[in-house]
Structure 1
């Protein structure tokens, strides 16, 4: 349906002109500030609560190779969390930020501050 009144036609032409300009200009691109970038790479912290120490593994399961360990009470850096093998009722594993590609069960880590984001 096309408007019959002059004001209606003008409004339609203005709208179509604005739409054409927007389409010709292309999609809007969001520019991220340094703060957004920083949030993506936030380092979380946790404390080892396993009395015998914390094993670091190549993946989020006991089936993965052990690549190191951390002693009881040590404060560790955590990059993010994933779902993995359920350890004593807890399926969360933390990807550690320690210079190696390793994971540890969240069951044996107490968060210091906020819980890590999902990977």
Structure 2
């Protein structure tokens, strides 16, 4: 077998292997939902505005947990999600905020700007 023929076959086999590997990887990056994007998108963040003159933001969704920081009336806060916690004036919903340190604020004192945050 001539050397040129052996090298040609080797090159063709290598190219075919590369194409097969690329074809095998490509579907893994497509979205399973059929929208054509990737499934690993950043979670949606929501906005809210503080309605209390001074809102203590806490390490857990209850008044017994540690105060992490304070927000003031008309502060716009970024909400990651909402969860259930201690009832405050009849409202058991709490927002997990992402501004600076992660902290919980009672939804009783945070008005949603836009859609209601998703559940945690």
TM tier relative to shorter chain: 0.5 to 0.7
| 1:34 to partner: Cα distance | 3.7
Q: Helix, strand or coil for the counterpart of 2:41? A: helix
Structure 1 segments (4+ residues) deviating >6 Å: none
Shift in Å, 1:97: 1.2
The count of corresponding residues between Structure 1 and Structure 2 is: 88
CA distance in structure 2 between the partners assigned to 1:74 and 1:34 by the alignment = 34
Which residue is equivalent to 2:31?
31
Find the aligned partners of 1:98 and 1:83 in 2 and give their Cα distance. 20
- 1:111 maps to 112
1:46 aligned residue? 48
The answer to whether structure 1 residue 99 and structure 2 residue 103 are counterparts is no
**Which ranges in structure 1 are unaligned for 5 or more consecutive residues?**
1-28
The equivalent residue for 2:74 is: 73
The TM-score with structure 2 as length reference comes to: 0.67
Provide the C-alpha distance between the structure 1 equivalents of 2:39 and 2:107, rounded to a whole number of angstroms: 28
CA distance in 2: counterparts of 1:46 and 1:35, whole angstroms: 27
The 8 Å contact of residues 51 and 111 in structure 2, kept in 1 or not, is answered as yes
CA offset digits 1:60-114 (Å, max 9, x no partner): 0001010111111111100000000000010000000113121010000000000
Instruction: List runs of 5+ in structure 2 lacking aligned partners.
Output: 1-27
Query: Which residue number in structure 2 is paired with residue 86 of structure 1?
Result: 87
Structure 2: distance between partners of 1:46 and 1:107: 11
